[in-house]
Amino acid sequence: MKNTNFYHPKFIPTWFLIVFMRFGTKLPFRLQVFIGKGIGSFLYLIFRRFRRIAFINIKLCFTDKNPAEIKLLVRQHFQAIGVAIFEIGDAYFAADAKIRKNLTIKNQHFLTNALAKKQGVILLAAHFMPLILGSRALLLEQATANIYRPQNNKLFDAIMCKTFTEHGANLIKTKDTRSMVRALKNATAMWYAPDQDFGANSVFAPFFNIQTATTKATARLAKTAKTVVICYSFIRTKNGYTMDFSPPLKDYPSADEVADAARTNQILQDQISKNPEQYLWIHRRFKTRPAGEKSFY
């Protein structure tokens, strides 16, 4: 943070948001959720472009829902976005004690057993709205490697990097495959969310019955010696947050990249279907289409 003039006037709105986030960490969980949903309802009204993307994505993925149900789910999603403002603030600025107070951990033994065997662990996750807080909560229990994309806002990026490195995270940029492999070889747990449209270096595999550009990197990283894949989720509940781990995947990766991509997508789809409003629907997940197919957006 010393190499950039973060007191330049262009960062004034960011500083106001940071002050709001710091204040927000002092609020109890239920009040954060109440205010956050109100903020999200306002965002639903003003962010027409993102609202349209969310409508398209949800309509494509939940073909059994009628227009009223789709509209309700989009509204609930924007409410989750509003709550995420407080969740990001807690991730950056809250004390460990507050995060732990609202946290329930299930099946942690799957992770600890793998690490005890000196195995590298890919924590396979989806982009749910509380994901940044979930990354911070992981650090309460275990030093991890976190795959991240540098933020466009340099001030937020600096705060994120400072917070997570101080709490024991090894931050690895999304394109730094060599560092990912090194972390796995060193028997590290690595948080990894492959459910975005990366375009190149992808295969098409079903995701909610839609042929979707899916990165091949998950299976390739899983081929690293003594590495296992454990599904990980971090979800907001009525009483706080639940962090849950699944048994290591068996027979993964296989010799078939498309089959591996389809299996990854199915795992994430199952997670999303349980708490659809908390998933990142404003991302153009289906932007890359098979040759000759018209864009959804």
Write down the pLDDT at residue 258: 95
Write down the pLDDT at residue 171: 93
39-85 pLDDT tens trace: 999 999 999 999 999 999 999 999 999 999 999 999 999 999 999 99
Write down the pLDDT at residue 8: 81
Closest CA to 95 of 184, 167, 46: 167
Write down the pLDDT at residue 1: 56
Write down the pLDDT at residue 7: 82
Residues of the chain with pLDDT below 50 are: none
pTM for the whole structure: 0.92
Write down the pLDDT at residue 232: 95
Beta bridge partners of 192: 124
Residue 237, classed as helix, strand or coil, is coil
CA 247/CA 1 separation, integer angstroms: 40
8 Å CB contact between 196 and 285: yes
Which strand (E) or helix (H) includes residue 14? Answer: helix 12-24
Residue type at 216 in one-letter notation: K
Ordered by start, the domain boundaries in the chain are 9-278
The count of C-alpha atoms lying within 13 angstroms of the C-alpha of 33, restricted to the half-sphere facing its C-beta, is 13
Q: Around Cβ 127, how many Cβ atoms within 10 Å?
A: 17
